[in-house]
Structure 1
Amino acid sequence: MTSRQFTPAALRAILREAAGLEEGTPADGALDVSFQDLGLESLALLETGGRIEREYGITLDDGALLEAATPRELLDLVNAHLAATAA
């Protein structure tokens, strides 16, 4: 069974919808800019996590979600969950 991938493009789309991140921000190209530097607070990240859970059919631990400090760390977290559910 092939696991579904959570891509940077998918993350950007969800961040725009869930957290109000505007186009042209550093998140459009840089995966290692901290969410704090992007101006995203924990509530925005929890909303982002909720959207990811609904769209990808996974459950993310709120603590682990909030520990993801950058878009790359969030991508890794989600992809690890997707791989685990595909196994």
Structure 2
Amino acid sequence: MSISVRVLLFAALQDAVGESELTVPLAPEDATSTALLNALVDAHPAIGPHRPTLRLAVNQRYVRGDVPLADGDEVALITPVSGG
């Protein structure tokens, strides 16, 4: 049995993957933000170069470090933004 996490991609990640949203299955015993990122990089290697600078928001709240995920969670992967 697995859980499903909805992943939202923006900007460079959306361009790299060609999708704005993905559904990622994870094993419940390994359902963490780190496991999610590992699965995403395995499935979409173009995400790899962005990984060191990504910010994550789980259910519209920024998180730090390795956090647990639950079935139905929404995880937004946010790349750095510059502007002027």
| Structure with the largest fraction of strand | 2
TM-score, with normalisation over the residues of structure 2?
0.30
